[in-house]
Amino acid sequence: MTDQYTFQDPTKQFPKAGPEFQQKQEEPGLQKEMTPLPDSGETSYRGTGRLTGRKAVVTGADSGIGRAAAIAYAREGADVVLAYLPEEEADAQEVVKLIEAEGRKAVAVPGDVRDERYCVNLIETAVKELGGIDILANIAGKQQFVEQIEDLTTEHFDATFKTNVYAMFWLCKAAIKHMQPGSTIINTASIEAYEPEPILLDYATTKASINTFSKALAQQVAEKGIRVNVVAPGPVWTPLQVVGGQPTEVLKEFGEETPLKRPGQPVEMAPAFVFLASPESSYVVGETLNANGGMPTP
């Protein structure tokens, strides 16, 4: 069995897209119904105790990159509070079982991050159930393509910003008051912050906002011993893509624009979230770690 430490060719490590990638689900979608199944590290991520005793909150923890981060954090020794939509319960329960199989505590808190009260409660739940919070990974996101600005409704624009930007603000604000020196916040941007697709006008704008917000917040809280950084994925095979994140007809070529000529898998993002959460990155503050298969960024 291979894991993230196995020497291998990155161009062939995971499959390229093809006709089998063309599929459609209703939002928010379930990972367990995708073909092929994304690899979120269920069997391929090996931990080494880098986060022993840590207390994490992960949003979007049911599937995709959030799922991969939650699994990795548990295998590195952390207890995890999982945030996800109620409709994603089936995926979330798989993650709960994987975390508990590592002997770590999993606290499932379904809800909608577009609700400020839910975000505040999420942090309070971590404090109550885990005894505190020292890792906040804001990964939940909304991505729905719209061809023309004339068809981009205020409701759609608002929902994207509430999910991607407002929730991050609410969660950071609630978490920082409980965080001790050494704690970390990892927010999630995207290649879209640098190379925006015209059909992702609202999404790309939120991802650029996340970068700027994080750099400002990092400077504000660094003197408290709290580090804030960002992971910016490229094209990664997650439910976000099959629920309208991309037109179905283009999914057969998903990821071909990268130098590796393939989409990333969620498990390939997990080491970035672990590194930025661990003391190994103690002098990394206000940075964006791009994990995008080689697509150049500023």
Average pLDDT over residues 191-201: 98
pLDDT of residue 298: 84
Query: Does residue 110 lie in a domain region?
Result: yes
Range of the domain at 49: 36-239+265-285
Specify the pLDDT at position 205.
98
Task: Bin 61: left if φ > 0, else alpha if -120 < ψ < 50, else beta.
Answer: alpha
Indicate which residues carry an active-site annotation.
203
pLDDT for 142 beyond 70:
yes
What's the pLDDT tens digit per position in 10-26?
999 999 999 999 999 99
CB 231 within 8 Å of CB 188: yes
Answer whether residue 1 is part of any domain: no
In the predicted model, what is the mean pLDDT of residues 123-142?
98
How many CB atoms neighbour CB 52 within 10 A?
A: 10
Residue 30 belongs to some domain of the structure: no
What is the total count of domains within the chain? 1
Q: Tell me: the pLDDT tens digits for 285-296? A: 999 999 999 999
For residue 108, give the CATH number of its domain. 3.40.50.720
Q: Is residue 63 part of a domain?
A: yes
Asked if the structure places residue 247 within a domain, the reply is no
In a domain, 8, yes or no: no
Cα–Cα distance measured from residue 24 to residue 68, given in angstroms and rounded to the nearest whole number: 22
Cα(161)–Cα(108) distance, rounded to whole angstroms?
24
> Considering the domain boundaries, does residue 200 fall inside one?
yes
pLDDT value at 1 more than 70: no
Note whether 246 and 224 are within 8 A (CB): no
